[in-house]
Structure 1
Amino acid sequence: MHNDSILHSNIQSLVKTSLGESIISIELLPGAGSNRHYYRVYTAHNSYIVCNGTQVDENKSFIYLSNHFYNKGLRVPKVYGHTPEFNMYILQDLGNTDLLSFKLQSQEHEWLPLYKQALTDIAQFQCKGIEGLDFSHCYARNEFDSVYMNWDLSYFKYYYCKLTDIEINEQKLEEDYNTLISFLLQSPRSFFMYRDFQSRNIMLHNNELWYIDFQGGMRGALQYDVVSLLYQAKANFTEKQRNELLEHYLNQVSKYMYIDLQEFKTLYEGFICIRILQTLGAYGYRGIIQKKPHFIASIPQALENAKQQCNIVSQIIQIPYLQTLIQQLPLISNTHE
């Protein structure tokens, strides 16, 4: 209770200093995948979102990137202020409706144009948003390179594979990881990569799409963000829908540069593979280890996606052990201890 009192006092002070307004009430918002805590604060005439996060470098990245994109006219929340220690900041309130929630309760003719708009917008982030961006502000790493790819694949190994009873041949798995990484590194990485561009991080507010949770962004390849959106397990697109949305994206991004479509689509298959494996690791960690229900619910579809995609990629590059391993992986659930 004492800690709550201190926290509320700190929020009150931040709002007063940044906006000159007094708080009437504070509401803790439901948590998602991170250790950050979000609060909706109400003043006499407005509401705002306050983020309280212990990872100062992550907070600094978000504030820098949000200001950068906001100044370029991209729809990101305005940052109104932050504490001197960067452990708390105050944002524009974008409401409660994310794009995934909207999709799951609406018809295709309602949600499909919004996903096309999101893909139009991500092309802007990637190609225009990068202009003048200082990647030294990226807190995790400034480029999606071989080191970061290896981290993602290790996430899958330790937080999914090793939660099962399957014996892993570390050497063979490492060889196939290196083959996949070498393949992915053929793609140009001179764009802003949002990193977690999925529909829970896209808010539908006043009939417009707004973008959040980009603090993990870095320099990277175009394909990754498209994959993140179209292969989100819970979104559960049909192949026809994915193809239509991919073609829309390619039409949009081609306005900024020449795209070799055959090369793009071949490498795209590899990025689908690494993204799905990374998310399986994330679902294992957030769902099984941390016991967060909506991550557990996403595991079955993600595992099925991984099995299908690894078969496709194995027709392009030689990853025999990884392919066999994924086909053998069982479904893990919240009964795991």
Structure 2
Amino acid sequence: MKYSDKMHEAIENLLLEKQGTSKAEVRVKAMSSDGSIRRFWRVESGAGHRYVAVAPAKDAGEKECAEAVSSWKIGSHLQQVGVSVPEICGFDPRHYLLVYEDLGDVHLQSLIIRLDLNNDQDAVAAREYYRKTIDQLLTLQCDGVRGFCQDWCWDTPRYDRELMLERESGYFLRAFWQGLLKQEVPDGLIDEFGMLAEHVSGIPIDYLLHRDFQSRNVMITNGDARIIDYQGGRFGPLGYDLASLLIDPYVDLPNWFQRELFDYYHLQLSGMSGISKDEFYRQYLLLAIQRNLQIIGAFAFLSNVRGKLFFKDYIEPAVRSLTILVAEQMAVSDTPVCTVLAGVLKKARDILSEQ
């Protein structure tokens, strides 16, 4: 039996078991998957119910199967504690198949890119969407961490120095600087990345981290913000997911709007944490730099190695964003940690402008 036929049958059987839906009523259609290698299907039943099914690709390895289990367990937990995630219909452990509520096709990104934030009316609409999203993010971070079990994490149980050096700054170095731009590693850059990771390692990791909290992982359904792709959840610091949302190259928010949303987040946070705005901003900048390094590495890898050219257009905005963050960190901190990186980014912008 073909892989697609086998998965269609598994979807039908799961809905029959969980919802009492007959196989004749189920219609299954493949969906695209952005940067993921997982397989997605849109499912409709005769009763008008709509679902999304997701499973590892054919011949997936142990990690991909573990990721599917994490998606089921973390999603069930988040749903239980009141985070607005898709309602889970069922999980088939034989095929690592998860079926959950279909939230539609409207990402936060698709709404924001239609708006002109210099227009007052559009800015009001964008502000409402982002405030709803931030409210859900805080629920995930603060309520989601309660009762969260690190055994559910398929990847690593916490955001730590090793992850930063290997999959953020190291990713930037390998996939973007050396892989895409074909440049030699300048003296001092690796030491600087180590120093950056050391500073970030001092930030408390007492919260739940989504780790890919950007506009394409927030669905707007009936006016509400709903969170998807949470299977990378682990213990981590507060500012990382906020940075993911605000510096997101998919929407390229202007700096003034980012700062307004940062202020809104901290205002809501102030009732839950005693951290001052100035200290939180210093932490935020370090975390935003780490996240931005990861973004650039990922977009370079996906476009240059995987051939997913959709991501290529977002590399230059991401490099510009990182340039701004590095300059800001150097301006507000007594211990600037990215002086070599600043030169690397200047050269990267020159190379990209010539391509």
Short-chain TM bin: over 0.9
For the structure 1 residues 239 and 320, does the alpha-carbon distance in structure 2 shift closer, same or farther, using more than 3 Å as the test? closer
- Would you say 1:128 and 2:130 are equivalent positions? no
1:218 counterpart (234, 237, 242): 234
Out of 299-308 and 215-224, give the one that drifted further: 299-308
The corresponding residue for 2:8 is 8
SS of 2:195 mapped into structure 1: helix
2:344 partner letter: L
> Alignment identity in percent?
24
Consecutive aligned runs of 4 or more in structure 1 exceeding 6 Å deviation: none
SS of 2:89 mapped into structure 1: strand
The corresponding residue for 1:266 is 282
The corresponding residue for 1:110 is 125
Out of 307-316 and 287-296, give the one that drifted further: 307-316
Q: Report matched runs for 1:281-292 at 5 Å.
A: 281-292=297-308
Out of 17-26 and 289-298, give the one that drifted further: 17-26
Out of 254-263 and 189-198, give the one that drifted further: 254-263
Question: Are the counterparts in 2 of residues 303 and 331 from structure 1 also a CA contact under 8 Å?
Answer: no
Question: Are the counterparts in 2 of residues 31 and 38 from structure 1 also a CA contact under 8 Å?
Answer: yes
1:305 counterpart (304, 310, 321): 321
RMSD: 1.9
For 2:3 and 2:198, the matched residues in 1 are separated by 49
- Would you say 1:238 and 2:254 are equivalent positions? yes
Give deviations 1:101-124, integer Å, cap 9, x for gaps: 011124222221110111122111
- Would you say 1:327 and 2:346 are equivalent positions? yes
For 2:351 and 2:209, the matched residues in 1 are separated by 30
Task: Give 1:59 deviation, angstroms.
Answer: 0.9
Give deviations 1:10-65, integer Å, cap 9, x for gaps: 22222222222134321111221101111111111111111121411111111111
For 1:186 and 1:84, the matched residues in 2 are separated by 38
Question: Are the counterparts in 2 of residues 164 and 332 from structure 1 also a CA contact under 8 Å?
Answer: yes
- Would you say 1:31 and 2:33 are equivalent positions? yes
For the structure 1 residues 42 and 126, does the alpha-carbon distance in structure 2 shift closer, same or farther, using more than 3 Å as the test? same
Task: Give 1:237 deviation, angstroms.
Answer: 1.2
SS of 2:188 mapped into structure 1: helix
Task: Give 1:5 deviation, angstroms.
Answer: 2.4
Question: Are the counterparts in 1 of residues 105 and 219 from structure 2 also a CA contact under 8 Å?
Answer: yes
Question: Are the counterparts in 2 of residues 202 and 212 from structure 1 also a CA contact under 8 Å?
Answer: yes
Q: Which runs of 5+ in 1 are unaligned?
A: none
2:39 partner letter: H
Give deviations 1:259-289, integer Å, cap 9, x for gaps: 2221111121111111111100010011221
Give deviations 1:199-257, integer Å, cap 9, x for gaps: 10011112211110011111111110110000001211111111111111001111212
Task: Give 1:323 deviation, angstroms.
Answer: 2.1
For 1:269 and 1:39, the matched residues in 2 are separated by 38
Out of 2-11 and 195-204, give the one that drifted further: 2-11
For 1:64 and 1:27, the matched residues in 2 are separated by 25
Q: Which runs of 5+ in 2 are unaligned?
A: 116-121
Question: Are the counterparts in 1 of residues 10 and 95 from structure 2 also a CA contact under 8 Å?
Answer: no
For the structure 1 residues 4 and 63, does the alpha-carbon distance in structure 2 shift closer, same or farther, using more than 3 Å as the test? closer
TM-score, with length taken from structure 1: 0.94
Out of 315-324 and 183-192, give the one that drifted further: 315-324
Q: Report matched runs for 1:1-337 at 5 Å.
A: 2-22=2-22, 23-45=25-47, 46-53=49-56, 54=60, 55-85=64-94, 87-106=96-115, 107-151=122-166, 152-162=168-178, 163-169=180-186, 172-315=188-331, 316=333, 317-330=336-349
1:42 partner letter: E
Question: Are the counterparts in 2 of residues 14 and 83 from structure 1 also a CA contact under 8 Å?
Answer: yes
For 1:331 and 1:305, the matched residues in 2 are separated by 15
For 2:5 and 2:89, the matched residues in 1 are separated by 23
For 1:66 and 1:6, the matched residues in 2 are separated by 25
Question: Are the counterparts in 1 of residues 215 and 250 from structure 2 also a CA contact under 8 Å?
Answer: no
For the structure 1 residues 327 and 17, does the alpha-carbon distance in structure 2 shift closer, same or farther, using more than 3 Å as the test? same
1:64 partner letter: K
Question: Are the counterparts in 2 of residues 300 and 331 from structure 1 also a CA contact under 8 Å?
Answer: no
For the structure 1 residues 90 and 318, does the alpha-carbon distance in structure 2 shift closer, same or farther, using more than 3 Å as the test? closer
2:73 partner letter: Y
Give deviations 1:279-302, integer Å, cap 9, x for gaps: 000100112211223211211111
For 1:2 and 1:116, the matched residues in 2 are separated by 45
1:308 partner letter: I
The corresponding residue for 2:119 is none
1:167 partner letter: E
Question: Are the counterparts in 1 of residues 55 and 95 from structure 2 also a CA contact under 8 Å?
Answer: no
